[in-house]
């Protein structure tokens, strides 16, 4: 009987080409269709490990850790100055799922600076913010706003210590007017003090004290006051 040989089953050429195109391990610069370029490590055709990405549209550069195609781990993000074209670092720190997450420092274009914790690309947790007017806030944040306990130090030395909500003073707190030598301790609602007590505090060393000191408030025992009033009433009755 004649021997019939079956031809070997082979994958279509496109499958072979696809396997060769799959990127894994360290690769030289790979260019995307839109002009973006990436140099670094790959796994299963995704950026994974250490690598540097340059976006053609903005010129921005990210250099650091990647995880399955997304920035994840430690890395820095820089953008070119529109005038000098020199690169300025905007953020250095930790990333999670392609957004700022964990501890990191952000440099704003107006000169402000934040050093602290992030979550889903927003300031959340404990952090310190330097504002362009010279103010400094250090405390808790939630979704990019001061929220929780924190201290705001103003350029003239005055400061607020207490509770915050949605970026405003809210709840119990203390405001130190060091220029006047006074302390306001009370409760705030949406940045407005609603109730509290204002007392002199370090008035002798204040740079701009008020003309007259605040009178001291004498506190009495309610029972003693009632007894004194009763006695006075009895005397008047007689």
Tens digits of per-residue pLDDT, 192-204?
Answer: 999 988 887 777 7
- What percent helix, strand, coil does the chain show, rounded to 5? 10, 55, 35
- Which residue would you say has higher pLDDT here, 78 or 22? 78
How many other C-beta atoms lie within 10 A of the C-beta of residue 71? Answer: 23
**Per-residue pLDDT, 200:** 79
Please name the fold of domain 11-107: 2.20.110
Query: What residue segments make up the domains of the chain, in order of their start?
Result: 11-107, 125-237
What is the distance between the alpha carbons of residues 37 and 25, in angstroms, rounded to a whole number? 16
**3-state SS class at 225:** helix
Residue 207 — very low, low, confident or very high, per pLDDT cuts 50/70/90? low
State both tokens at 90: 């905007």
Query: Where would I find the beta strands (DSSP E) of 6-98?
Result: 25-31, 37-43, 46-54, 61-67, 70-80, 87-96
Closest to 66 (Cα-Cα) out of 56, 54, 77, 52? 52
Q: Answer yes or no: same fold for 11-107 and 125-237.
A: yes
pLDDT at 114 over 60: yes
**pLDDT confidence bin for 180, thresholds 50/70/90:** confident
Instruction: Spell 150-182 as b/e; 16+ CB within 10 A means b.
Output: bbbbbeeeebbbbbbbebebbeebebbbbebbb
SS3 230: helix
Write out pLDDT tens, residues 41-76. Answer: 999 899 999 999 999 999 999 999 999 999 999 999
Q: Identify the band that residue 223 occupies on the pLDDT scale cut at 50, 70 and 90.
A: low
pLDDT tens digits, one per residue of 28-49: 789 899 999 999 999 989 999 9
Which residues, listed in sequence order, are joined to residue 142 by a DSSP beta bridge? 145
Residue 115's closest CA among 101, 130, 123, 127? 127
Whether 3 has a pLDDT exceeding 80, the answer reads: no
- Give the pLDDT of residue 162: 97
Average pLDDT over residues 212-229: 57
224: left (phi over 0), alpha (psi -120 to 50) or beta: alpha
The mean pLDDT of the chain is 85
pLDDT at 201: 76
What per-residue confidence (pLDDT) applies to 15? 47
Q: For 125-237, CATH number? A: 2.20.110
CB-CB contact of 43 with 24 (8 Å): yes
Handedness of CA 40, 41, 45, 48 (dihedral sign): negative
CA angle 79, 80, 82 (to 5 degrees): 125
What pLDDT sits at residue 23?
Answer: 63
Q: pLDDT for 143-171, tens place per residue?
A: 999 999 999 999 999 999 999 999 999 99
CA–CA gap between residue 129 and residue 137 (Å, rounded): 5
- pLDDT of 18 > 50? The answer is no
């Amino acid at each position: 009987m004649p021997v019939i040989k079956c031809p070997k089953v082979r994958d279509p050429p496109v499958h072979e080409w696809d396997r060769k195109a799959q990127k894994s391990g360290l690769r030289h610069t790979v260019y995307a269709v839109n002009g973006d370029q990436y140099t670094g490590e790959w796994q299963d055709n995704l950026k994974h490990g250490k690598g540097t990405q340059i976006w053609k549209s903005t010129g921005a550069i990210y250099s650091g850790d990647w995880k399955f195609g997304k920035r994840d781990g430690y890395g820095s993000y820089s953008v070119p100055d529109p005038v000098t074209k020199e690169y300025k670092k905007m953020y250095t720190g930790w990333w999670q799922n392609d957004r700022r997450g964990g501890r990191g420092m952000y440099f704003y274009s107006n000169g402000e600076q934040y050093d602290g914790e992030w979550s889903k690309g927003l300031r959340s947790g404990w952090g310190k913010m330097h504002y362009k007017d010279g103010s400094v806030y250090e405390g808790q944040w939630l979704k990019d706003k001061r929220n929780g306990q924190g201290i705001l130090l103003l350029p003239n030395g005055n400061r607020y210590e207490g509770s915050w909500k949605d970026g405003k003073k809210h709840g119990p707190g203390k405001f130190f007017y060091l220029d006047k030598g006074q302390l306001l301790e009370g409760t705030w609602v949406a940045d407005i003090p609603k109730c509290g007590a204002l007392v002199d505090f370090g008035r002798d060393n204040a740079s701009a004290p008020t003309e007259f000191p605040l009178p001291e408030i004498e506190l009495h025992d309610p029972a003693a006051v009632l007894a004194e009033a009763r006695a006075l009433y009895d005397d008047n009755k007689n």
